Amino acid sequence: MDHCKIQGFSPIHLIRPNDQNIEYKERGGGISIFVRNDIKFKHRYDLDIVLPYMECCFIETMFNNKKYIIAGMYRIPNTNINFFIEKFNEIIEPLKSSFEVIILGDFNINLFNDDINKNLFEICLQSNYLIPTILGATRIATKTLNNGQIVSSKTLIDNAIIKFNMKHSSGLIDSFISDHFPIYISLPEIIIDKMNTEKVIQYRQVTDITKGNFQLAIKRTQFNLSQNEAADRVFSGFHNTFNELYSTHFPIKEKTLNHKDEIKPWIDDTLKNRMKIRDNLYKLAFKKKISHKIFKDFKNLLTDQTRKAKAKYFENEFNKNSHNIKKTWSIINDVIRPKKSKQDISLLDDNGSDVQDSKVSVQFVDYFTSIADNLTAQLPNSPIHASDYLRNRNPNTFVFLQANSKDVETVINDLKDNGIGINKISNSVL
């Protein structure tokens, strides 16, 4: 299989083992899946199967906050249909509620026939909310009779099977690359987005320790608060010193996230390493280098640890937000409701260039504050001044009162600590 490669794609191969203890009906077999290099996926070794009557290979991926299971499947011809149906149900039934299921393969069940094999297969698909999408003949065979007459037969044995509610476009490719016509399926809902690429985030680490060190540095700093200096100069000096100390004690850090980090934050590095061990144990068990029980026991232990980590994560989240009902419901909705995909909206300036995220708010302010001036410029000139329309004016209706430190402290304490971004001062620090 080293020579079976496609440039720009990652290959996944399931090779039929050369096992003298297992009786296979025919030579050949095996399944290959090729995944484009910019698509993140996981080979689901735990679902792969090689049996005398069927072979299947699975990968898992994610698009637009939906999890997909994609399988290549082959049913060995002239084998017991009941064995195949039973194993098919055993694999797919646990997946149908959590994944969008896509199965492509050669099932060697002719859907043109009205027989027991077709009926059992259709009932099996319907019970798992699946439908076949290929409706034309996928194999055309010809043979010559004893009288010299050439007859042809058409069968529909290859298919692309999906959930019944998935929008799709599918069909046959008119090519004689093999004795089966190639089939294809296109799903418009699968669009590669930022969820499938690594994302770098920037943040400042604000903890009790870093806040304590910052407050200590502020107390040790001598600010020029002379009343003889101009107010703007005094504030500018204070502001610059404050920002320098803030950047020193709360430096901007970067972290690379993938979609799993965002969706399953309870899976830490320890669990990730154990998952790698699990996958390696599966490979060893598959090659019969270790007992299958060793792999199964470790997998069950890891599953239990992952569930406990998930429960502990949500317990901590609920305790942390016990006094914030809005955040509590947000956590609940994230668990029980699938997230809807968000479209990226770009903002353009007057020159047609994209506005950077950090300058979006400035762009909005400039736009809305200029509305009055733009409308005023469109008004016709009038000999009457705007103030002439005002009657009985009182010039002393608005008074500025001197603010004291208590007023400033009250305002700061009422500020909400959200939406400030990394380029602003955290309200919790103030």
Strand 100-106, strand 66-75: pairing: parallel
Residue 49 to residue 58: CA distance in whole angstroms: 9
Residues 6 or more apart from 72 whose CB is under 8 A from it? 14, 31, 32, 33, 56, 57, 104, 105
Q: How does pLDDT run across 119-151, given as a tens digit for each residue?
A: 999 999 999 999 999 999 999 887 777 887 877
Please say whether the beta carbons of 422 and 203 come within 8 A.
yes
Q: How does pLDDT run across 160-210, given as a tens digit for each residue?
A: 999 988 989 999 988 767 889 999 999 886 655 444 456 777 888 888 888
Structure-token pair, residue 344:
């990226």
Structure-token pair, residue 268:
């830490």
Please say whether the beta carbons of 195 and 64 come within 8 A.
yes
pLDDT of residue 407: 86
Residue 264 to residue 8: CA distance in whole angstroms: 29
pLDDT of residue 16: 77
pLDDT of residue 342: 57
* Domain residue ranges in the chain: 9-195, 264-342
- Tell me which residues of the chain have a pLDDT lower than 50: 193-196
Please say whether the beta carbons of 52 and 23 come within 8 A.
yes
Residue with tokens 């502990």: 312
pLDDT of residue 195: 45
Residue 408 to residue 402: CA distance in whole angstroms: 11
Per DSSP, what are the bridge partners of residue 160? 104
Q: How does pLDDT run across 214-225, given as a tens digit for each residue?
A: 989 988 888 877
**What fold, for 9-195?**
Deoxyribonuclease I; Chain A (3.60.10)
Map residue 181 onto helix, strand or coil: coil
Please say whether the beta carbons of 28 and 18 come within 8 A.
no
pLDDT of residue 194: 45
